[in-house]
Structure 1
Amino acid sequence: MNHIEIAYRIENARKALLGVSIGDAFGDSFFGDLEQVLGNIYLRQIPETKWEFTDDTVMSIAVFEELERNGGIDQENLIKQFCINHDLDANRGYGATLRRLLREVQNGESWQEVSKKAFEGQGSMGNGAAMRVCPIGAFHFDDFQKVKELAVKSAEITHSNIEAITGAVAVAIGTALTAKMKFDRSILTPIDFIDKILNELPDSDTKSKISKSKSVPYNYNIETVKSILGNGINMTAQDTVPFAIWCTAYNLQNFEEGLWKAVSILGDRDTICAIVGGMSILSSEDLNIPQLWVNSVESFEKSVFRRK
């Protein structure tokens, strides 16, 4: 590990987790009557909400704690913590496939076998692996190889499909880039940001769609953007991560604007906003991180999921 204080790395990862939790709770508040939701987005009004986070943040907490403990990912320990945290509160929006996987692991099956046999042996290509890796990129921002290694390790225990793994690596690298921007006091253009992520990805449909995002102007009609990049409605990596990367690329200094843009595409809005929030909070200007949101979101530090 390069000679940067561990305390700095942990605080970076904690800030990424804060961004995930804010984005997660923010996005989750926009489910409901579509006409009312669209009106709220148009007026930039957050619906009445308890600001509670979902499984996106719960699983990110476990990843953060692995990094906090030893700077790495112990797969056996991580899957165990996923199971424990799920049972502490199962009503956090977990998908059916993940619920089944965790149950089978708790019943004694190995995660290696359970993860690989999902979807008739193809493995899950869901967006769940991407939604929880921001702390990895924030912690190891100065070592892309380490970021990729740990993103894969955190992903494959539940998502063995190359699409899901690519999505996780893309988000982790994206977070490393935003953390590096703050550390180096540098600025990246949207295209530079996307290109640097693409350089680290294996060939896959997810990589192809992220590449396609470079040709999508920020001022395109959001329905057109959705038709090109997806909005997470299918809950797959290739339907979620390309838009989240694109949205972040154009809001690297503006956390608040990034989340409003992210939620406007609807779809899997809590997950998309969690990913955008986790990446953009690290490079954003502090004045563009609303203190009211920071103060209002459910505290992951005080939650039952946080090991003391």
Structure 2
Amino acid sequence: MMTLVRLPPFRKPAGTDGRTVEEHKPPVDGTDYRDDKVKLNNQDSNEQYAKLIEYQQLSSFSVEVEKFSRMVVPALETAVVVNKFRGCLVGSLLGDCLGAPFENESKVAKVVLQRYFDKMEDPNFKSPQKQYTDDTAMTKSVAESLIQHGAFNEKDMARRFTTEYFQSPRRGYGQAVVGVFRKWRDTKMEDVWRPAREQFDGEGSAGNGAAMRISPVGLFCYKDRQLLVQTAADCSKLTHTHRLGVHGAILQALAIQQCVLHGPKESIDVKSFSASLIEKMSEVEPQEEDELCDMGDEPQSYQLQLNSLQKLLNKNEANPEVVVEALGNTVLALYSVPAAIYCFLRAQRPIDFIKTDNVFRRVIQFAISLGGDTDTIASMAGALAGAHLGLDAINPSIMKHCEAHEIADSLACDLSDVTLNP
């Protein structure tokens, strides 16, 4: 696993607008090398050189070897991280846009889905752009607020959610969250926490609406797990106060963090990845969560769901019906967040009914094949795949079919600037 050290202060090279990975490459030895390749001495075999080559292999950049400088390692590392930020937010958007047409279908025909993605990958195929839903609309607001304030700001984030909804209400928002927006507007944000607490007879929402928008938090806090958990919880409680809704968002944010910290060229050890999430969730979920959670007759927790996920991984299970039976595919966070994580992990290996060598596509296609809440599950799975593989792993032909992919990319670049320059 790639270990990410604390990065030195990063400044954009003069004259750039912060919109591309290349423009985010910091200067080496104080010189602006935007138009030159960094060169290192091929004969240098010291320990630092070996580490540099390791980072080079993990990076998407082509680095020629001629001249060595200590500053090169963090420069390449920064490029890797920025690429992951871009992949995560664009991946989340693509999962949302591509999954939305199949939402609420109990079963998605595998042949239909294969043809759907084959067409999207064809550079000559033309069609209207796929529209994003409330998943992306709220993710965008989270990212914008973090960029603006460099920290969680509850009133600003609530205001952005509300403004975004009333400017574009036909994005598939649920009635419950719209009720929160209306109360915020009517009370002029007097108490941004109260409307969510009052929902569902005081129980709060257990839906996946907090988890679906949490990827910017996972990115922004990737170097600090304690801050990540707290920020994810605070961000969630603006609209979702049931612990299963909150903990689902925390789980997704932790998974995003693990993906960012994993080398993009390294294969994922799926058992280790899931075991790490179980360990972390044991610190998040209280002991009483093993008791009834008002979700049915049996004890329910994310640790139990992740245990079921591991059993599926051990069987190398790819049958959508079996996955849905074990993990779910609904709008409840408990029955969608673990499913999205499973799709990401299982798609690291080939799947018989998905004909592609592109891992990112395989993740999203597998997620949509589950049916149900396809846009949200595919969005969360796409965010994970993008955070691991980076933007370079996403086929540009697919990207162009999705509304606002340039906006998602731009926000990711800006968010990386704020994160790497606290």
Higher percent of residues as helix: 1
Indicate the larger mover: 48-57 or 117-126. 48-57
| Letter paired with 1:226 | V
The residue correspondences of 1:98-137 to structure 2 (distance < 5 A) are 98-108=177-187, 110-137=191-218
TM-score (norm 2): 0.65
Question: Structure 2 matches for 1:9-48, cutoff 5 A?
Answer: 12-31=84-103, 38-45=110-117
Q: Is the 8 A contact 2:83 2:390 kept in 1?
A: no
**For residue 237 of structure 1, what is the aligned residue in structure 2?**
333
| Structure 1, 108-117 or 73-82: larger mean CA deviation | 108-117
The equivalent of 2:236 in structure 1 is: 155
**1:258 matched residue in structure 2:** 363
SS in 2 for 1:127: coil
Partner letter of residue 227 of structure 1? E
Alignment map for 1:196-235 (pairs within 5 Å)? 196-201=276-281, 202-203=284-285, 204=289, 205-216=301-312, 217-232=315-330, 235=331
Does 2:262 match 1:164? no
Q: Is the 8 A contact 2:340 2:367 kept in 1?
A: yes
Structure with greater Cα Rg: 2
Q: Following the alignment from structure 2 to structure 1, what is the Cα–Cα distance between the partners of residues 397 and 386?
A: 15
Deviations 1:128-157 (A, max 9, x none): 000011122123222211211211111011
Distance 1:285 1:79, change over 3 A: closer
C-alpha distance in 2 between matches for 1:219 and 1:87: 42
Deviation at 1:261, TM superposition (A): 0.5
Secondary structure of 1:150 counterpart = helix
For normalisation by structure 1, the TM-score amounts to 0.88
State the identity %: 23
Q: State the alpha-carbon separation in 1 of the partners of residues 263 and 90 from structure 2.
A: 16
Deviation of the 1:29 alpha carbon? 2.5
Kindly state the Cα deviation for residue 63 of structure 1 after the two structures are TM-superposed.
1.0
**Range with bigger deviation, 119-128 or 7-16:** 7-16
Deviation of 1:44 (Å)? 5.0
8 Å CA contact 1:133, 1:151 repeated in 2: yes
Length, aligned pairs only: 302
Contact 1:44/1:260 (CA < 8 Å) preserved in 2?
no
Q: Secondary structure at the match of 1:119?
A: coil
Give, in whole Å, the separation in 2 of the partners of 1:206 and 1:36: 26
Residues 142 and 157, structure 2, Cα contact 8 Å, conserved in 1: yes
Runs of 5+ in structure 2 lacking a partner?
Answer: 11-23, 25-77, 121-126, 290-300, 349-357, 415-422
> Quick check: 2:218–2:257 contact (8 Å CA) kept in 1?
yes
By how many angstroms is 1:11 displaced?
6.2
State the Cα distance separating 1:170 from its structure 2 match. 0.7
Confirm or deny that 1:3 pairs with 2:7: yes
- Residue 89 in 1 paired to residue 168 in 2? yes
Query: Structure 1: how far apart are the matches of 2:245 and 2:319?
Result: 27
Q: Distance in 2 between matches of 1:162 and 1:190?
A: 26
Aligned residue identity for 2:7: H
Q: Which whole-Å deviations, capped at 9, do the CAs of 1:88-147 have from their partners, x for residues lacking one? A: 100001001001111111111623221111111111001000001112212322221121
Does the CA-based 8 Å contact 1:206-1:237 persist in structure 2? no
Does residue 291 of structure 1 match 2:363? no
- Cα displacement (A) at 1:39: 3.9
Deviations 1:249-291 (A, max 9, x none): 2335821100011000000000001101111112127664221
Structure 1 counterpart SS, 2:130: coil
* Contact 2:105–2:371, Cα closer than 8 Å, also in 1: no
Q: Is the 8 A contact 1:30 1:37 kept in 2?
A: no
Distance 1:162 1:289, change over 3 A: same
Contact 2:317 2:323 survives alignment (8 Å): no
More displaced, 4-13 or 97-106?
Answer: 4-13
Question: Which secondary structure state, in structure 2, belongs to the residue aligned with residue 72 of structure 1?
Answer: coil
Q: Classify 1:166/1:34 alpha carbon distance in 2 versus 1 (closer, same or farther; 3 Å).
A: closer
The 3 A distance-change label for structure 1 pair 247 and 165 is same
AA paired with 2:341?
I
